[in-house]
Structure 1
C-alpha cells in the first residue's frame, strides 16, 4: 500500500504537477517578455517626447533671437540715420565757421555787406526719434507644470489572479482509464456536408464550425447565429480559433495571412513573406499561436503573436534539430 501510494504521488508529480508548473513558468516568462517590451516602448516614447520638445523649444528660441536681431537692426538703423543727418548739419556749420573766419580776417566791407547769417536755420534742431531700450520678459514655468505638459507616466496595474488549476492525480487516473465508449455530449444540425474544423467559444459555450470556405457560429443550444462566407478565389482557409472575447481568427494559406472575423467583418491582421500559415490556436494569455511552413515544405516554425506583434518564434526543438 505504501509503495502504491508513493508510486501514485510520484506519477502525479511527474505527469501533473511538474508539467503544470512548467506551463506556469512558460506563461510568466512570456509575460516578462511582453512587460520588458512595454517598458522599452515607454522609455523610447519618453526619449522621443524629449527630443520633440527640445526641437520645438529650439525653434522658439531661434524665432525670438531672429526677432530680437531684426529689432536691433531697425533701431540701430534709425539712430544711424539721425547721426548721419546730424553729422551732415555739423559739417555744414563747420564750413560756415571757416567762411566767417576768413571774412573776419580779410575785413573787406563789400563782402561783409553781402554776408547772410545762417544761424537761425541751425537753431531749430529737427525732431529726433527717441528709442526706449528693448526688453525680454521671461515666463518662469513651475517644474510641476512642465512635467504635466511633458506627459504622464502611468504605473503598471497590479492585481492578484488565480492561475488555471493544475491537473490532479484524479484527472490523471481518469485520463489513463479513458472512455471505453465515446460519449455524445451534444448533437447539432450544421447544414454542412463536412465539418472540417471546430473551435469552442470559451465565454458563450457555443462554437464555430468550418466547412470549405464557410464558417458558421452556433450557440450552446445549437442555434445558428452567423454565417461567414469567404471568397473561394481569394481565400484558402486552413484553420480557425476563437479568443475569449469571441473574436474568430482564421489562417489563410493562399493569402499567407491571419485574419479576424468580428460581426461578419473580415480584417487582415498579419501577413507572411515566404511562409504559408497552417494551424492556429489561442493561448490562455490571449495570444495566438501560428504554425507555418515554407513553400517547399522543408522548414517549419511556430510564432506566438500578441495582437499583431510577434513575441516568440520557435523553429528548433533544440539548438540544431528543426521542427
Structure 2
C-alpha cells in the first residue's frame, strides 16, 4: 500500500493520493482539487457537474469487486447484484436485464421510508400500548395479590373466631357439667347429713333405752339399724374426656383452603388465582358418600342358630354373632364358614356384643349382671354394678365402654361410661330432671356416633335417644310415617357409619331407618330384609343385618 495514502481520509479516484474534496455528480467520482481539470477534459460529451464533496447530491457508489477501478453504476435484475460498466460486457451477465442503480436505490429508499412510516405510526405505538398495558397489569397484580393476602388473613381470622366459639362452647359445657355434678353431690351431701342426724337421734334413743330397767318396755322396742347398714352409693364425679380432633397437616390444609393451580408453571402467567372457598365444617378426612338408588345385597350367610340376635364386625370379613344360646360365633363372610365359637361364662345367652378397637370381644350378660371381655379366648369380668343389670354396651373411639344399665327395681335406667372397670360418667336425666330413657324390662342397645354423640335404641319408649358426649339431650327420633308396614316404630339394633348416619333396625316393619346426625329421616332400607334385630357396619360402610327367624346375616351396600 502507498504510505502517502494512509493519512488521506478520502482519496481521489484519479490520483489515488490527493484528498477528495470535490466530486462529479455526473460521473460519480471523488476528486482532489488538482484532478478536477483533468476530469473536466475527459468525456467531453458529458456535462460534468463538479461540486464540493460536502454538498454532493448524488452518492458515490462503491468500486466493483471484479473491476477495481470501476464503480457500480447498474443493477442486474437476474443476479440481484450491482454491476459496473465493465461487468455488462462479460459472459456472466449475458442477456441479463439491468437497471440504473439509482433507480434501485430510489425504490429501496421508498420501501425503507414506507417501513419506517409503518414502524413510527403503527408498530411503535402498538408496543407503547403493550408496554402501558403490562405496566397496568403489574399495578393491578400488586393490588390483586394484596387483596388475595387480605382475603387469606380474613379467612384465618374467621377460623380463629370459629375456634374461639368452639372453645367458649366447650368451656360452657364444662361449667354445666361441673354445676350438675356439684348439685348431685350436694344432694347426696344433704341426704347423708340428714341420715347422720337420724343416726345420732337413734343412738341417743338407744342410750335412753339402755338405762330402762323395765323389761316390759324393752321387750317391745325395735331398732331400725338394718336400714342404715347399706349407705347411699355416691357416684365418683369425673371429668368428661376431651376428645381431641386429630387432623393431619395435609388434611388441615385441605379444610382451610388453598390456591388454584396456574396454567403455566414456568412463568406463572395466564392463570386465574383465587382462594378456594371451603366451609370450615367441610370434612376433608373422609369423602362425602351418596346413597345408592337401590341398596344391593352383597352376600347372605346362613348361620346355625335357632334364632339370630346380634352381629358385631371384627373386620370387613369377620363378624361376631349371637343367637338363642350361650355361644358367640365368629364367621367369615368370604369363606362362608364358622371360624370360632366361645361360650359365655354363665352359660346364658349374651344380650349384646361389641368389638373394641383392639379387636377384643365384649359381651353383656344380663342374667348375671356383668359386662365381660374376651382376650385370647379367656373371659374376664369388666363391670358388675350392684343392684343394676346391663342391657347393652358399645366400645367407643377413645377406648371407653358405654353400658346402658337398668336397676333391679325396674325404676331407673342410665348410661354409664367406663374406662376399664372404673366408672367415669353417669347419664340419666335431661335438663328438666326427667329420665332420658324408659325403665323396666326392655331391649335397649347403644352405640357411639362419629361425632361422639351417644345413641340409644330404646325399644320400650319406641325411640332413638341421642345425647352429646356430655350427656345433654340432642334429640329423640320416634320413627317416620308411613312405615313400610304401617306398624309402630319398633327399634332394635343400632349402628352408625362414616357419614355420621344413625341406622336402626325396625323389627316389626322389616326395615332399617337411616337418619342424619341431627335426627332428620333420610330413608328406609327394605330390600330383602325380614325381622332385622342386630346391625353393624364395616370400614367400607357396608351394613350387616341379623335376621331373627331366617337366621341369616346379610351384607348390604347402601352407599356409593
Same fold (TM over 0.5): no
Higher relative contact order (CA 8 A, sep 6+): 1
* Higher helix content, 1 or 2: 1
Higher strand share: 2
What is the TM-score with the length of structure 2 in the denominator? 0.27
